[in-house]
């Protein structure tokens, strides 16, 4: 996990930047839950084509994080601590998505309030990263059963980075 940046106390835009980082961490966590459920669904379809795999993925992407976690909890044996962490992450994700700015409406008008918001978001990012690590620890061995290894993931990342680099040289 990358280090969570410190606040630079630079400007009124900074809370929005940290909100973006918080949302990003929440989305990574959600996608890890999707990876768990997808890996669990693959045995149900047996040998599948890329098209079937993509259809399953698209259908799972329509589920909420809560629904994905519910499916994970049914199929995976989690410790009480892991369950507590994932449930808390779900509640915090919903708070960030639906209530964060309303809860901090008055904080925008002061530097101290903005710092408070950023400090809270840094804590949220850390919590989402921790929950993501739990889910990643579950899905990686499941994916390896289907031949998808860390090397495959690194190759995909390298391909994406190369495409981004090429795009930047064209622009």
Quote the tokens at residue 23: 């949302």
Residue 119 has pLDDT above 90, yes or no: yes
pTM (whole model) above 0.85: yes
Residue 81 has pLDDT above 90, yes or no: yes
- Let me know: does 89 contact 29? Beta carbons within 8 Å: yes
**How many other CB atoms are there within 10 angstroms of residue 53's CB atom?**
15
- Let me know: does 54 contact 60? Beta carbons within 8 Å: no
- Let me know: does 37 contact 60? Beta carbons within 8 Å: yes
Banded model confidence at residue 49, pLDDT cuts 50, 70, 90: confident
Residue 168 C-alpha from the chain's centroid: 26
What's the rounded Cα separation, in Å, for the pair 82 and 131? 8
Residue 47 has pLDDT above 70, yes or no: no
Q: What is the DSSP letter of 107?
A: G
Q: What average pLDDT score do residues 90-99 get?
A: 97
Residue 171 has pLDDT above 80, yes or no: no
For the chain, give the mean pLDDT. 90
Q: Which pLDDT score, from 0 to 100, does residue 133 have? A: 97
Quote the tokens at residue 25: 């961490």
């Amino acid at each position: 996990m990358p280090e969570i940046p410190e606040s630079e106390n630079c400007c009124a835009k900074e809370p929005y930047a940290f909100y973006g980082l918080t949302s990003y961490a929440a989305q990574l966590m959600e996608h890890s839950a999707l990876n768990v459920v997808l890996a669990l669904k693959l045995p149900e379809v047996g040998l599948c084509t890329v098209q079937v795999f993509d259809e399953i993925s698209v259908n799972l992407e329509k589920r909420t994080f809560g629904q994905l976690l519910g499916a994970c909890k049914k199929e995976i044996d989690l410790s009480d601590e892991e369950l507590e962490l994932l449930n808390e992450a779900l509640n915090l994700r919903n708070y960030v998505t639906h209530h964060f700015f309303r809860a901090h409406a008055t904080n925008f008008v002061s530097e101290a309030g903005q710092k408070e918001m950023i400090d809270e978001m840094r804590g949220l990012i850390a919590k989402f990263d921790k929950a993501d690590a739990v889910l990643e620890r579950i899905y990686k061995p499941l994916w390896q059963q289907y031949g998808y290894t860390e090397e495959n993931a690194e190759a995909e990342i390298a391909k994406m980075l190369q495409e981004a680099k090429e795009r930047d040289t064209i622009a």
